Amino acid sequence: MTKEKIIKIGTRSSPLAMWQAELVAQKLQNLGHKTQIIPIVSHGDKNLTLPIYKLGIVGVFTKDLDIALLNNQVDIAVHSLKDIPTTLPENIHIAAVLERDFPEDVLVRNPKSTHKNFDHLHIATGSLRRQSYWKNTFKNCTFSDIRGNIQTRLQKLESENFDGVIFSLAGLKRMEMNIQYEILDFITPAPAQGVVAVTSLIDNDKISTILNQIDHKETERITQIEREFLQVLEGGCSAPIGAHVSKIKNDFWFKSGIVNLEGTVKIEIEEKINLNEKYLGKRFAEKLKSLGADKILNDIKNNI
């Protein structure tokens, strides 16, 4: 591909998604390429009434961008990596990931509820993982589903009188939200949380070569482990599954777990790992299954 050809970038139309697309565009422009951002409304953005896990669509935030790629409406698509299913459509691959920044989940409180302790909050979140991990630690909370972009959810925090809303810290940082938050270190992040990914067609070698220049290799490797774990465990992106590779000094640690919907059972593994070892995600998933993860997943499938 010559540098004169414009690279068409597909993205969801939310402010956060546009920010991520603009970040990718800037990196490509720094390499001398011209870019054009093309917003596309996803299935997940069209229906804001049902929680994600009830929509019944695999890749609820990625499907429409996949179609745009396959129809050559765009050359690449930018996503939050945690939204991308572990099995991609034929001829689409993850061609680059950017360096992970903030993987944590955080609580933003209603100013009226700053005096309440964690065990008695009314929390808004559409994530089964966040709900289940919270219930496992704090038994007396109540939960409501919430959908929409960051700005919409912050408005609902006060208009619907929730005590707090759970966000990805990466989203708040990228949107430069100057608000108070509390890091929820008892919730294991979703696999690949806090990572921007770029997909393209496998047979478009020129685009893949370009994208390889913006790929962050360490982030690519650790998210491969997290996503392999999720795939072998056979849990979709809406299941209450956490997986996170962290770097502490010069060592890498893999923490993974699953919690039942009631929050009464949590199965968790945390070990130091060697990134060069193959099939790490598979090994941890099989170990979690042997400890009872299969039963939790089957119960969840029968109840949502």
CB 109 within 8 A of CB 182: yes
* 83 tagged catalytic: yes
φ and ψ at 214, to 5 degrees? Answer: -110, 5
Among the ranges given (155-159, 205-209, 255-259), the one the predictor scored with the smallest mean pLDDT: 155-159
CB 151 within 8 A of CB 183: no
Q: Which of 45, 64, 66, 83 is catalytic?
A: 83
For residue 55, pLDDT beyond 70: no
In this structure, what DSSP letter does residue 5 have?
S
Please report, rounded to a whole number, the percentage of residues in the chain having pLDDT higher than 70.
90
* 3 state DSSP class of 170: helix
Close Cβ partners of 114 (under 8 Å, ≥ 6 residues apart): none
Predicted local confidence at residue 56, as pLDDT: 41
For residue 176, pLDDT beyond 50: yes
For residue 145, pLDDT beyond 70: yes
Give this prediction's pTM: 0.90
Using the CB atoms, write b or e for 238-268: b if 16+ within 10 Å. Answer: bbbbbbbbeeeeeebebbbbbbbbebebbbe
The burial class, CB within 10 Å (0-12 / 13-18 / 19+), for 90 is exposed
For residue 49, pLDDT beyond 50: no
Q: State the average pLDDT over residues 210-225.
A: 98
All domains of the chain in start order, with CATH: 6-98+195-215 (3.40.190.10), 105-183 (3.40.190.10), 230-301 (3.30.160.40)
